[in-house]
Chain A
């Protein structure tokens, strides 16, 4: 079924949409979570750990939303704080040290905009991840699972392959935020969603996304019917195939390839 851009935004935010931990339970095995950034604290909005997928040992990093009101608050609606990004980087450095590839899962409305986050250098935490991810010596596969909320998403999004779920969105600003600025009316969000070209199909046309993973009508975490299950399998297959391809590359080819990939992004006149 063809959805409008804003319907996809709503699907990406659907309360029954699979979250990072659902992926970990369904398509990864032997997950062990690790905690803390060793600088300040542990951010529940972002989880990290070791897991296996299709027999491959990987480091996993992903934003985590909450299923009920208490967990939502605990996870801070997946709005990641600086300590979350620093924990992610810690995990990625460790994966690099032990020569294990990395899978990151993006699902956040955005980096947390609060006083404490600013005090601890939200901007620096994001920026530093962007730079460091560009030169990681192991393969990085990025999955845009639900909401790709601007810099808060990109901070774990610099990888060799970017896979995006059909109904996920990835944008520089939320449609509501964009509408509030441009039309002074957050009610114009559907119009903004259309204009921002934030859907998987549009983004792959611009070369920002490598693969779009087809979804069922409403992909959820808890339905056990075949169509729903197939989406998980498709995603797993794609992650594993991409990891295997990337593992065949030398470190220099890998890093050069990643640079070239992002180097080409953007359209301008010259």
Chain B
């Protein structure tokens, strides 16, 4: 006979009930493996509070973080992709566009808007990787060109956050020509002595890097973003060598004189305002 006996029945619980529901509450940092409370992560602009790893973020959040009080007027929403080549790979490009719209909740791979940043008139665009890899087709090219033209009309500054795999294959040479179209508009902006601040985020490669992204009066980069012309795989296949560690990361580009500053996301808005204060000179009319 035992000395103690259980008067109450055992607590019956199956395994399913024992699992604590944490979905949507925590996020694991892929860099330092820390478990991060989502609300903390949100407060730190999706930057790991332990190791400062920058999570990729969407276009709308980018613009909210940039503009004064997070307020901006969205522009050219109606400009969206067509299918001029009638391109079909594993599925028709038309279906790919529709699917991208649904899954990303965005009309195109870039969102553009107008508002104030530190009191300056700013026309800003932010690319979004969740829409066909942030790729640049005719619609993206058109939206950026219109943004630059609007800035020239009202003497505003242009800020663009790049996040892109490059030109969009499914629109062929039309995509390629967007590089020339945007660069030509930037030539005019330059002539008018208006600022263009280019912010490179993870990842910025291909035709986007080889056009407007590298044409900023100043070029800022988020820490450890992949930035380059050719993708790492293409280079490895060409030279048949492993690439050095840290190759094509923001810090590598800074060291080689290709970017002006590597800026933590939490300091980005402040840094941009400081630069606009210098560049938006009221003496220039």
Contact = CB atoms under 8 A, between A and B. Distances in A.
A198 B177 CA distance: 13
Contact of B180 (A124, A158, A171, A178): A158
Given A196-B85, A266-B178, A268-B142, A172 B229 contact: no
A127 interface: yes
Contacts of A170: 173, 176
A270 interface: yes
B79 A172 contact: no
A113 B230 contact: yes
Contacts of B256: 119-121
B179 A151 contact: yes
Interface string B188-206: 1011000000000000001
B171, B207, B210: residue with the most chain A Cβ atoms closer than 10 Å: B210
A267 B79 CA distance: 10
Interface residues of B, number: 64
A266 B173 contact: no
Interface stretch (B36-44, B110-118, B231-239): B231-239
B211 A126 contact: yes
Given A127-B212, A171-B176, A258 B184 contact: yes
Interface residues of A, number: 53
Contacts of B211: 126-127, 130, 151
B172 A196 contact: yes
Contact of A267 (B82, B187, B229): B82
Given A263-B184, A267-B174, A131 B229 contact: no
A154 B234 CA distance: 19
B159 interface: no
B84 A267 contact: yes
A208 B174 contact: yes
B181 interface: yes
Interface of B: 76, 78-82, 84-85, 87-90, 137-139, 141-142, 145, 167-169, 171-181, 183-188, 190-191, 206-207, 209-215, 228-230, 234-235, 238-239, 241, 243-244, 247-248, 256-258
13 contacts: A113-B234, A118-B235, A123-B228, A126-B229, A128-B215, A131-B187, A148-B173, A171-B172, A182-B169, A206-B84, A266-B178, A268-B80, A270-B76
Q: Which 7 A-B pairs have the closest CB atoms?
A: A266-B138, A113-B230, A130-B183, A134-B184, A267-B84, A123-B209, A182-B89
